[in-house]
């Protein structure tokens, strides 16, 4: 058993670098600051040890007032505070802990470089469109907190991890509330996969076998983009394999992606014989429009070549930012 530590949940303005260090930063109460985020400013939720040691666990950089875009990075961090429990695959999750149909299994391996990718995409989108998206980042390593799981599986009972998990999702809820003032919007949950052959996977909560069905529209109600379809902005077929589907736009810009116009079936054995496909997870379900609201969500699972190499990633960041901007212009203008 790990030692439980009493936690005072505080929010801290990010005047400090997000690393593990001794306490010395200015703090404000989490609840007090929810309604007054300044665009471009960084807000950090820290986890604490009784000794005073802490880690800047969760970061929210507020987007511009007119932005309809939210980017999230739930398990790309690298901080491993020793005072936090290390997650194990033996942990049995509470079955009553999940209202969003997440059945994903345990992993303690971070999606490498997705945190960097998310921050770089936000900067590039701001530079090229003038609108800074909202970004929410989990700086903790996945072995300490997996922010794309229901709480018990995510934190395995560690009080600091639970508090950080709550902060991560509270920041997303706050960002969604701001975006909703503009009508509707989109959340992109940024991930990395290691499937072979390499490809980027677009997750809309449709299962692999659904994509060969002639009538994709029947799946709108269970998709994370339900609001886009119900509002008449797009059909499911548009969003899966149309000219402006994210997978199609990515493939047209040098990032092979599926589902898309050229690869509409992500488990097509001729093209992807490993049969693997990530169709979306806890965040896509909870924060998309499957269950409620006008904010839709899409999981983007980038392959290694796109994100791992610090020298080539900037080129991909430009391409992906262009794709996201094209998608936003088409569907959220
Ligand atoms: Zn992931």
Q: pLDDT (tens digit, 9 = 90+) per residue, 140-199?
A: 999 999 999 999 999 999 999 999 999 999 999 999 999 999 999 999 999 999 999 999
What's the rounded mean pLDDT across residues 38-51? 96
- Bridge-partner residues for 54, per DSSP? 21, 48
pLDDT of 14 over the 60 cut: no
Other Cβ atoms within 10 Å of 42 Cβ, number: 17
Sorted by where each begins, the domain ranges of the chain are: 185-331
Tell me, what's the pLDDT at 96? Answer: 66
Ligand 1 centre to CA of 74 (Å) is 7
Residue 97, pLDDT > 80, answer no
* d(CA 280, ligand 1 centre) in Å: 9
How much is the pLDDT for 15?
Answer: 38
Q: CA 289, 103, 72: angle at the middle one, nearest 5? A: 50
Q: Cis omega (within 30 of 0) on the bond before 259? A: yes
Confidence grade of residue 109 (pLDDT, cut at 50, 70, 90): very high
Quick one: pLDDT at residue 91?
87
Radius of gyration of the chain (CA): 19
pLDDT digit string (tens) for 209-222? Answer: 999 999 999 999 99
- The pLDDT-based confidence of 4 (bands split at 50, 70, 90) is very low
Instruction: Name the token pair of 214.
Output: 């002639």
| pLDDT for residue 36 | 82
* pLDDT confidence of residue 160: 98
Query: Across residues 228-233, what is the average pLDDT?
Result: 97
Angle (deg, nearest 10), helices 114-129 and 313-331? 60
Ligand 1 centre to CA of 146 (Å) is 9
Q: Output the pLDDT for position 205.
A: 97
Q: What is d(CA 157, CA 153) in angstroms, rounded to the nearest whole number?
A: 8
Distance 122 CA to ligand 1 centre (A): 19
Cα–Cα nearest to 240, from 254, 252, 227, 225 = 225
Angstrom distance (rounded) from CA 57 to CA 138 = 6
Q: How far is the CA of 286 from the centre of ligand 1 (A)?
A: 15
Q: What does the pLDDT look like over 282-313, one tens digit per residue?
A: 999 999 999 999 999 999 999 999 999 999 99
Q: For 5-29, what is the HEC assignment?
A: CCCCCCEEECCCCCCEEECCCCEEC
Q: What pLDDT was estimated at residue 93?
A: 74
**pLDDT confidence of 19, banded at 50, 70, 90?**
low
- Angle (CA) 84-85-87 rounded to 5° is 130
Quote the pTM value. 0.91
User: Residues lining ligand 1 (ion), CB within 5 A?
Assistant: 111, 191
Please say whether the beta carbons of 312 and 206 come within 8 A: no
Distance 192 CA to ligand 1 centre (A): 6
């Amino acid at each position: 058993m790990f030692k439980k530590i009493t936690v005072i949940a505080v929010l801290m303005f990010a005047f400090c670098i997000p690393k593990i260090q001794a306490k010395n930063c200015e703090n404000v109460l989490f609840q007090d600051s929810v309604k007054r985020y300044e665009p471009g400013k960084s807000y950090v939720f820290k986890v604490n040890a009784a000794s005073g040691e802490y880690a800047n666990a969760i970061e929210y950089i507020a987007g511009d007032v007119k932005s309809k875009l939210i980017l999230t990075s739930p398990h790309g961090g690298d901080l491993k505070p020793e005072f936090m429990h290390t997650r194990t695959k033996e942990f049995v999750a509470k079955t009553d802990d999940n209202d969003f149909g997440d059945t994903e299994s345990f992993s303690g391996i971070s999606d490498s470089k997705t945190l960097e990718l998310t921050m770089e995409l936000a900067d590039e989108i701001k530079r090229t469109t003038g609108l800074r998206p909202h970004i929410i980042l989990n700086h903790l390593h996945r072995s300490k907190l997996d922010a794309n799981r229901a709480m018990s599986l995510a934190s395995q009972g560690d009080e600091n991890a639970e508090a950080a998990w709550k902060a991560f999702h509270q920041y997303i809820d706050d960002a969604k509330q701001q975006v909703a003032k503009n009508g509707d919007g989109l959340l992109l949950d940024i991930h990395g996969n290691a499937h072979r052959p390499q490809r980027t996977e677009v997750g809309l909560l449709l299962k692999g076998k659904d994509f060969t069905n002639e009538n994709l529209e029947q799946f709108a109600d269970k998709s994370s983009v339900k609001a886009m379809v119900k509002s008449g902005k797009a059909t499911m077929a548009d969003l899966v394999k149309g000219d402006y589907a994210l997978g199609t736009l990515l493939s047209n810009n040098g990032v092979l992606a599926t589902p898309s116009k050229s690869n509409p079936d992500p488990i097509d054995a001729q093209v992807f014989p490993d049969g693997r496909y990530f169709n979306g997870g806890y965040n896509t379900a909870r924060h998309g429009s499957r269950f409620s609201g006008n904010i839709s969500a899409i999981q983007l699972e980038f392959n290694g070549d796109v994100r791992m190499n610090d020298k080539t990633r900037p080129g991909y960041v430009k391409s992906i930012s262009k794709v996201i901007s094209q998608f936003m212009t088409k569907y959220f203008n």
